[in-house]
Amino acid sequence: MKNRAVRFGVVLGGAMVVLTSCGSSKSPSMIDSKGNEAKHIAGVWWLMFTLAAAVYVVVAGFIVYAIRRRHSDQQEPQSDQADTGAQRFDDRMIVWGGVAVPLVILLVLAVVTVRTTDALRRPERNALRVEVVGKRWWWAVTYPTARFTTANEVHLPAGRPIELGLTSDNVIHSFWVPQLAGKLDMIPGQRNILRIRASAPGVYEGLCAEFCGVQHAHMMFTVIVQTAGDFDRWLAQRSQPPLEPASESAAQGAVAFNRLPCAGCHTIAGTQANGTLGPELTDIASRRDLGAGTVTNDPENLARWITDAPSLKPGALMPPIAMTGSEVQSIVAYLESLK
């Protein structure tokens, strides 16, 4: 009976190890690495996993062996000589299995970890600087060379070294794109540097990895890695102020935007709107989501967001704003024109 329970435990443990290592393909997995830094980290992960699995198999084997031995000892007691032999074997196992092997394993892991951390921090020349500030609960993303700021989306060129300057102006957040690099805290009054070199174009999910308040779970972002050429074109286009509203409705929206409280908190390049409390809206129409990954950016959600953001994201700092139906419509038309 005991024997079966132990075997069951061994199989269950093994199954759990396998299951927890297979994530769903939708959620970002740090072992599905798409960048230089993430590859380093995944390497350490696989080494730790392999060593842990080997230790697990050996220990489980010894447990099964010990139970069998006790079982046979009970049925036919051993001679004194055999008992002393078994005792000597046990002592040797404690020295090797309990002290020597764990020491070697921990030493190997320590050396590999220190070397990997070193490699992740090594500065690269000609790195593209991008500054990200953790807000409640969204991300302000600035490209200092282009003097352009956006929110909740980080465009990066593939193959080029990136230096992300991370900070916060409120509480501590943590910037994490599992497929590209390790997580790094964003601390008020301190600029931490995260280095990334994405290997291929693609869209990667990012998230806040440090509990930061009521909407921590809705503090996501998207990293869009483009070819170097596409990225340069994107940045050049973004550096220009948006075009004048083309439609009548959008033009009315621009007027309403500046009359209502919107412009006090948001900036739209090339207009009088220059608030800094909320996300910059210069390219709002081109972004995929609203509220840092809370809902898809479509006209319906946008209308609901601008009138009552807390109904979509409880705790969002933008208060409900009273406006007429036509004001909502025209402001949505205006924001939809900002690409």
- Residues at the site binding ligand CUA, with contacts judged by CB under 6 A: 134, 137, 173, 208, 210-212, 216, 219
Minimum distance from CB of 214 to ligand CUA (Å)? 10
Minimum distance from CB of 25 to ligand CUA (Å)? 24
- Using CA atoms, how far residue 13 sits from 19, 22, 98, in Å, is 10, 15, 21
129 in helix, strand or coil? strand
Minimum distance from CB of 313 to ligand CUA (Å)? 13
Minimum distance from CB of 136 to ligand CUA (Å)? 7
**134 or 245, CB closer to ligand CUA?**
134
**38 or 219, CB closer to ligand CUA?**
219
Nearest C-alpha neighbor of 316 from the set 223, 213, 206, 207: 213
Rounded Cα gap, residues 207 and 195, in angstroms: 17
Minimum distance from CB of 188 to ligand CUA (Å)? 12
Rounded to an integer, what is the distance from CA 22 to the centroid of its chain? 18
Minimum distance from CB of 152 to ligand CUA (Å)? 12
Please list, in sequence order, all residues whose beta carbon lies within 8 angstroms of the beta carbon of residue 280, skipping any fewer than 6 positions away.
140, 149, 150, 151, 266, 267, 268, 269
131 in helix, strand or coil? strand
Tally helices (H) and strands (E) across the chain: 9, 12
Rounded Cα gap, residues 251 and 329, in angstroms: 11
Cβ distance 218 to 149 under 8 Å?
Answer: no
Cβ distance 135 to 215 under 8 Å?
Answer: no
Cβ distance 38 to 30 under 8 Å?
Answer: yes
Minimum distance from CB of 204 to ligand CUA (Å)? 18
Residue 221, number of CB atoms within 10 A of its CB: 23
**210 or 280, CB closer to ligand CUA?**
210
**130 or 335, CB closer to ligand CUA?**
130
Minimum distance from CB of 45 to ligand CUA (Å)? 23
Rounded Cα gap, residues 229 and 157, in angstroms: 8
**218 or 238, CB closer to ligand CUA?**
218
**130 or 207, CB closer to ligand CUA?**
207
Rounded Cα gap, residues 118 and 155, in angstroms: 26
**176 or 334, CB closer to ligand CUA?**
176
**137 or 334, CB closer to ligand CUA?**
137
**213 or 299, CB closer to ligand CUA?**
213
Nearest C-alpha neighbor of 17 from the set 62, 52, 60: 52
Minimum distance from CB of 332 to ligand CUA (Å)? 28
